[in-house]
Structure 1
């Protein structure tokens, strides 16, 4: 090998960026895959990925250290039973990062797992840059986490537009709003003229969303059924549509079997968006779906009913003015929220009547949702492209 060839090979090798990416939930897996795609578009063969991910990241070439389904654990008792194996996975994942010697570790959501890995890596090898994609909810509870993150996170990529200001206020690490992936779905959430005509027609379509996890369905189904029974008795005919996902279909079907009124159950993301496009209003369990409904410009009533232990903890630690994501993004509590003891038919039925009819509450929600495109805009860049840009900036600076 000549000196020139040797030098060229060394430069080529040095130019390759090694990134270790960790995502342990399906939503994080989708974010990770989009980020990997955006980075490959910029770096081509100049980037190599290792880490933990699911099907979407595997399609981008990642060979996961272990199946992320191992960490799909719900409920405090289940976590306690599996704690030794979870702790082993945290240790082994941190060791894998240190062995790989990447230029950067990118942790995506799942802070109970990913942040523990990040802290171990930073303590052992400060030369590895660390980026956190999806902020923990420091604005809602445990705000001290933001300042603590400065010790092991170099930059936070935020999905929500108000989060960078919260990090400044809480003296956390640098934080940039990169955009929420839902903003890329707006075209699929807004009605066509024909669908708008169905929104305005009778009987009104009410989308019913009791939750996307088995435990949520367990806690919510009874109050949803009784509320809809009373609402239909007062309001008259309603076209009820209940979107769900394949693995929860049987649980949902079993839950609605006891309802006096029967919704149409639709399965999958495309059918859910189709329901949103014709919905007059929604009756939804609090969560990301409230932001999706706001982007679809569907007025709603939001609820949350948890188990006794979760509710007890929540009352003592949650500090935000609202638990409804749509409210937090628009900066105004326009969506009524009924939590725990307030989640009863006597309070829910009047609120649902208001969002189904031409009322000040409905008008106020629609006016707030009309501003959401501007509030969540990232200009011409997609969220994944903006995230990739920040990742490359951090790599250059580290």
Structure 2
């Protein structure tokens, strides 16, 4: 059968690649065409457009890039018409994917949404479009099933979180080999995960690295995003205690003592690696002012949202400054604090439902088409 997959971000590329592997296992003759990234391309199929050409964050930034976004939507529709898929699989990225889904449903193409839009955070009125435009919805957070089924009477399938699959299936590198391969110092590592988009990296890295000289017994290692060139990071690497590693975030987290993490999927990844973290976020002033008026959530990190309490400290906007980052990072290095935090991480992992999200989703999709 023919599958068309649309993933618009780095996390979608990761989950899309694992879903593609599962689809090939369930349907060895699968013909897959996709929007995604390097990981999906390595898995097989045909890449139409890389997510680095799609990722715009923030309300103001989307307005400035509206022409490009609309052009990409038209390109996508034409490509789908030519490919004539048996199903379209949407992975997160709701602003783009929900427009394509409406168009596809009107043409009778089966629509599957893997990693549902976070309408529980904002734009809850999108539920009408979700019910109208999607034949199947696969949710990955335990509270999402209750949100859709109990509150909005829309049946969904909880498949567990695909990050557990990604972490479980990774190749493990020894600490000695990791340090040697990446020319690191023989000091404990503090990981810096500043995001994947240029605008968020630019905004976050300077403030994250402002505490480097206060922790001379540790080395700071920046996790480079696969969508960015090394040259983009060079201005941030002037301090000799700051290192850079591209496309090895899981290896980095495996060997880190603590981490400073920009809000997003990385907050959950860091927790699942049992690395004590501080969550940091700064947006443009205009985007932040809009967001805080329409988003009603108590927390911005997935760790705290799933646990429904503040497990990891969140430093948002003005609170994300050198003094506060220094204070919170010092806490993470305290053995008693670390022990309590890791116990909370263990509970978090139990809530997420174990391995098999990609396999379960692929089985549901293939079964529905057969």
TM-score normalised by length of structure 1 = 0.78
Aligned length in residues = 360
Which residue among 269, 285, 296 is the counterpart of 1:292? Answer: 269
| Unaligned ranges ≥5, structure 2 | 178-185
- Cα distance in 2 for residues equivalent to 1:218 and 1:193: 29
Alignment of 1:54-73 (within 5 A): 54-58=37-41, 62-66=45-49, 68-73=51-56
In structure 2, the partner of 1:8 is none
In structure 2, the partner of 1:113 is 96
Per-residue CA distance 1:250-298 (angstroms, 9 max, x = gap): 33330242x5x732222331xx333323322222222212111111111
Q: Is the 8 A contact 1:164 1:177 kept in 2?
A: yes
In structure 1, the partner of 2:180 is none
Q: Secondary structure at the match of 1:253?
A: helix
Which residue among 218, 223, 226 is the counterpart of 1:238? Answer: 218
- Cα distance in 2 for residues equivalent to 1:54 and 1:222: 27
In structure 1, the partner of 2:298 is 321
Please report how far the alpha carbon of residue 149 of structure 1 lies from its aligned counterpart in structure 2 after TM superposition.
0.7
Q: Is the 8 A contact 1:158 1:179 kept in 2?
A: yes
- Cα distance in 1 for residues equivalent to 2:217 and 2:77: 56
Q: Is the 8 A contact 2:31 2:45 kept in 1?
A: no
- Cα distance in 1 for residues equivalent to 2:222 and 2:276: 16
Q: Secondary structure at the match of 1:333?
A: coil
Change beyond 3 A, Cα 1:310–1:130: same
In structure 1, the partner of 2:199 is 215
Alignment of 1:144-155 (within 5 A): 144-155=125-136
In structure 2, the partner of 1:366 is 342
Please report how far the alpha carbon of residue 146 of structure 1 lies from its aligned counterpart in structure 2 after TM superposition.
2.8
- Cα distance in 1 for residues equivalent to 2:169 and 2:65: 42
- Cα distance in 1 for residues equivalent to 2:236 and 2:148: 41
Which residue among 220, 225, 228 is the counterpart of 2:209? Answer: 225
Q: Is the 8 A contact 1:189 1:295 kept in 2?
A: no
Q: Which moved more, 1:75-84 or 1:321-330?
A: 75-84
- Cα distance in 1 for residues equivalent to 2:330 and 2:351: 29
Greater C-alpha radius of gyration: 1
Which residue among 277, 281, 286 is the counterpart of 1:309? Answer: 286
In structure 2, the partner of 1:344 is 321
Q: Is the 8 A contact 2:212 2:241 kept in 1?
A: no
In structure 1, the partner of 2:189 is 205
More helix by share: 1
Please report how far the alpha carbon of residue 338 of structure 1 lies from its aligned counterpart in structure 2 after TM superposition.
0.8
In structure 1, the partner of 2:182 is none
Which residue among 87, 104, 118 is the counterpart of 2:70? Answer: 87
| Structure 1 vs Structure 2 CA RMSD | 3.1
Change beyond 3 A, Cα 1:250–1:116: same
In structure 2, the partner of 1:176 is 157
Alignment of 1:20-35 (within 5 A): 20-35=4-19
| Unaligned ranges ≥5, structure 1 | 1-16, 196-201
Please report how far the alpha carbon of residue 313 of structure 1 lies from its aligned counterpart in structure 2 after TM superposition.
1.7
Which residue among 247, 251, 260 is the counterpart of 1:283? Answer: 260
TM-score normalised by length of structure 2 = 0.84
Q: Is the 8 A contact 1:94 1:118 kept in 2?
A: no
Q: Which moved more, 1:105-114 or 1:67-76?
A: 67-76
Which residue among 42, 47, 65 is the counterpart of 2:26? Answer: 42
